[in-house]
A and B are shown apart, each in its own frame.
Chain A
Amino acid sequence: MAVTLKGPTVKSAPLDVARIRKDFPILAQTVRGKPLVYLDNAATSQKPRQVIDAMSQVFEEHNANIHRGVYEFSERTTALFEEARAKVARFINAPSEREIIFVRNATEALNLVAYAWGRDNIKRGDRIVTTVLEHHSDFVPWQQLATEVGAEIAVVDIDDDGRLRRDQLSSELRKGAKLLAITHTSNGLGTVNPVKEIAAEARAAGATVLVDVAQAVPHTPVDVQDLGADFVAFSGHKMLAPPGSGALWGRAEILEKMRPFLYGGDMISRVTVKLTEWNELPWKFEAGTSSYVDAIALGAAVDYLSDVGVAKIHAHELSLVAYLLPRLQEIPGVTVYGPKDLESRVGVVSFNIEGIHPHDVATIFDREGVCVRAGHHCNQPLMTRLGVPATTRASMYLYNTTDEMDALVGAIHTAKKVFGT
C-alpha cells in the first residue's frame, strides 16, 4: 500500500528487522501455537541478548559493590558503572556526565525533582503548568506538591487529534509559571510535542522546564542541549534495558543548588555526629547501593540503540503506523484516538472497538498471541478528556513487522466475531 498519510516520507525497510529479531530471545516463542506478537512496548520493551549478556557478565566476572572497595573487583564494577553513565550522557548529548543521575525509573527521577527542587522552589501562589497528556508519574508529583504548598496547577488541553493546544499553553505561560512539566511524547496517544519551541517559550516566561522523555528517548533522537530543557527524565526498561535502570538529567548549576533527595551511603563526602557534607554531582543524588548492574546494562542498551540508529528506529515505527492506520480505520466500529497522520508521532496507536471493552479485547488478543495494553495507561486525565474509560493500545518498536500489524488486524476481526459486532 502506498503511504499517503501526511507527514515525513517513509522509506520501506529502514531496518534489517529479521536480523534484529534474532537478538531478542523471547521473540522466538509461540503462544498457544501462535507466534508471539509483542505490541506493548510503551509499557516495557523486550531485551536483546547483548543486554542480557552484559548483566550476566557483571555477575559472573566482576561483581562487587561500587565506589567502596579498594580491591580490583570493586574497581572494575565501578569503572563499568561510570562508563555506562558516560554512554548515557553521550546518547542524549548531555554537556557533562556529572549531570546524569542514575535512578530506578522515570518516576523516581520526577519525584527526585519534585522533592529536592520543588519543595524549595515552588511556593504558595506559584503556578505550575502541565498538560493533560502527562503520564501519572509526571502529573501526581506536581499535583501533590501544589496541594502541599498552596501552588496553582494549570493543565493544558489537547485538540481532537490529540495535539497540544499551543494557544492555551502560551496563554498559561504568559500568566506566569515557575515550572513547566511536559511530556515529550505521549504514552497514551503517541503524540510528539514541539518541545524545543515550547521550552524556549517557557524559559523566556521565566519557568524551569522539565521534560518527561520516557517515551521519547527509546524511539526518537533526543538531544538535551538542543531541546533547551532544565531537567529530563527517562526509564531504561522502555529502551531495551532492565527495569531498575533510568536517568535524570539536569543542568549542573541547578543540581548543585538542590538539596539531596535520599540520604545515606555514597551520597556523602564527610559525616560527623553533628553534620554531613554532601558528595559531588552526580553521587549526591545516588544514595545507597544503586542498581548498578541495571545501570551497566542500560549502557549496553544505549550501545545497541546507537548501533542500530534511533532515527532509523523512528522511521521504521512510522512505516508500521503508515501500514496499520488505514487498515484500522477501514474496520467498521473501530475508533482511533490521537493523531491520524505521521506528523510528529511515534509508533503508539490507541483505539477502541465499539461494543467491546478494552479488557475483553486484550483477553481475546492474548489468545491470538498478540500482547497489547488495555486500560487507562496511567493516563486517567487523558482518558477523561477523550471521554472513554479505557483504550486498547498497540505500541511498536524496532523488532515489530508488518506481519505483526496484520496479526493485530486479524485479532480485531476475531474479537468482533466473538462478540458478534
Chain B
Amino acid sequence: MDDMYRDYILDHYKNPRNFGELEGATHTYHDSNPLCGDEMTMQLRIGDGSVDDVHFTGKGCAISQASASILTEEIKGKTLDEVKAIDRDHVLANLGIPISPARIKCALLGLKALKGAAWGLTAWPGEEVKAK
C-alpha cells in the first residue's frame, strides 16, 4: 500500500539489526539531528583493517533507524577504506524508497555517524563534550 513505509523499512525500524552496545568497540561516533531530536551512535570493531563487527544505538524516526540498520548489515567484513568510500547515493539506493528533501537528513544520519567512526572521530568537531 505504501511506497515509503514498506514492510522491510518498518521491519528494520521495529527490529533493528546490530542494535545495542558493542563490546570491544575500537571506533565510536555519536551524532544527532536537532531538528527532530534523532540520536545515533555507531560503533565499529576493527581488526586487521576491516570491520569485524558493528553496532548502533539510537532513537528517532523510521527512516533514520531503518537506514542505519540496513547500513550495518552491509558493512560487516568490509575494509575501512571501503566503508569510507560509501556515499549518500549508495545509501539512498539501498533504502529503495522515495525520500523527500525534508527527510534526507533522517535517511543519512546513520551514514554520517558511520563515516565519523570510520575516520576515527568521536563526534562532530566541537561537539565532543556532548558525546558519550
Chain A residues in the interface with B (C-beta under 8 A): 356-360, 363-364, 374-376, 380, 383, 388-390, 418-420
Check B91 for interface membership: any CB of A closer than 8 A: no
Q: Please give, as numbers and ranges, the residues of chain B lying within 8 Å of A356 by CB-CB distance.
A: 62
A357 near B61: Cβ-Cβ < 8 Å? yes
Q: Mark B38-75, 1 if CB is under 8 A from A, else 0.
A: 10000000000000000000011111000000000000
B2 near A383: Cβ-Cβ < 8 Å? no
Q: Please give, as numbers and ranges, the residues of chain B lying within 8 Å of A376 by CB-CB distance.
A: 34-37
Q: Please give, as numbers and ranges, the residues of chain A lying within 8 Å of B25 by CB-CB distance.
A: none
Rounded to whole angstroms, the CA-CA distance of A418 and B5 in the bound complex is 7
Chain B residues in the interface with A (C-beta under 8 A): 1-2, 4-5, 10, 34-38, 59-63, 100, 103, 106
A359 near B10: Cβ-Cβ < 8 Å? no
Q: Please give, as numbers and ranges, the residues of chain B lying within 8 Å of A363 by CB-CB distance.
A: 4, 100, 103
Question: Known contacts A357-B60, A418-B5; is A374 also within 8 Å of B103 by CB?
Answer: no
A418 near B36: Cβ-Cβ < 8 Å? no
Q: Please give, as numbers and ranges, the residues of chain B lying within 8 Å of A374 by CB-CB distance.
A: 36
> Which 3 A-B residue pairings sit nearest by Cβ, starting from the closest?
A389-B37, A357-B61, A359-B61
B10 near A389: Cβ-Cβ < 8 Å? no
Q: Please give, as numbers and ranges, the residues of chain A lying within 8 Å of B61 by CB-CB distance.
A: 357-360
Rounded to whole angstroms, the CA-CA distance of A116 and B61 in the bound complex is 42
Rounded to whole angstroms, the CA-CA distance of A357 and B63 in the bound complex is 10
Rounded to whole angstroms, the CA-CA distance of A374 and B100 in the bound complex is 15
Closest A residue to B5 by beta carbon equals A418
B36 near A375: Cβ-Cβ < 8 Å? yes
A181: min CB distance to chain B, Å: 23
A210: min CB distance to chain B, Å: 26
A390 near B37: Cβ-Cβ < 8 Å? yes
Contact partner of A389 (CB less than 8 A), chosen from B1, B36, B63, B100, is B36
Rounded to whole angstroms, the CA-CA distance of A389 and B37 in the bound complex is 5
Q: Please give, as numbers and ranges, the residues of chain B lying within 8 Å of A359 by CB-CB distance.
A: 36, 61, 63, 103, 106
B5 near A383: Cβ-Cβ < 8 Å? no
B5 near A389: Cβ-Cβ < 8 Å? no
B103 near A389: Cβ-Cβ < 8 Å? no
Q: Please give, as numbers and ranges, the residues of chain B lying within 8 Å of A357 by CB-CB distance.
A: 36, 38, 60-62
Closest A residue to B59 by beta carbon equals A389
| Contact sample, A vs B, 29 pairs, CB 8 Å cutoff | A356-B62, A357-B38, A357-B60, A357-B61, A357-B62, A358-B61, A359-B36, A359-B61, A359-B63, A359-B103, A360-B5, A360-B61, A363-B4, A363-B100, A363-B103, A374-B36, A375-B35, A375-B36, A376-B36, A376-B37, A380-B34, A389-B36, A389-B37, A389-B59, A390-B37, A418-B10, A419-B5, A419-B62, A420-B10
A273: min CB distance to chain B, Å: 44
A358 near B5: Cβ-Cβ < 8 Å? no
Rounded to whole angstroms, the CA-CA distance of A356 and B65 in the bound complex is 12
A360 near B37: Cβ-Cβ < 8 Å? no
A360 near B59: Cβ-Cβ < 8 Å? no
Rounded to whole angstroms, the CA-CA distance of A360 and B66 in the bound complex is 12
Contact partner of B5 (CB less than 8 A), chosen from A364, A375, A380, A390, is A364
Most buried by B among A358, A375, A380, A389: A389
Q: Please give, as numbers and ranges, the residues of chain A lying within 8 Å of B63 by CB-CB distance.
A: 359-360
Q: Please give, as numbers and ranges, the residues of chain A lying within 8 Å of B106 by CB-CB distance.
A: 359
Closest B residue to A418 by beta carbon equals B5
A391: min CB distance to chain B, Å: 10
B25: min CB distance to chain A, Å: 25
Closest B residue to A389 by beta carbon equals B37
A389 near B2: Cβ-Cβ < 8 Å? no
Closest A residue to B10 by beta carbon equals A419
Q: Please give, as numbers and ranges, the residues of chain A lying within 8 Å of B60 by CB-CB distance.
A: 357, 389
Contact partner of A418 (CB less than 8 A), chosen from B2, B34, B38, B59, is B2
Question: Known contacts A418-B2, A419-B5, A420-B10; is A360 also within 8 Å of B35 by CB?
Answer: no
Rounded to whole angstroms, the CA-CA distance of A358 and B60 in the bound complex is 9
Most buried by A among B2, B5, B60: B5
Rounded to whole angstroms, the CA-CA distance of A356 and B61 in the bound complex is 7
Rounded to whole angstroms, the CA-CA distance of A375 and B38 in the bound complex is 10
Rounded to whole angstroms, the CA-CA distance of A356 and B60 in the bound complex is 9
Rounded to whole angstroms, the CA-CA distance of A35 and B37 in the bound complex is 31
Q: Please give, as numbers and ranges, the residues of chain B lying within 8 Å of A419 by CB-CB distance.
A: 5, 10, 62
B37 near A383: Cβ-Cβ < 8 Å? yes
Rounded to whole angstroms, the CA-CA distance of A376 and B61 in the bound complex is 14
A282: min CB distance to chain B, Å: 36
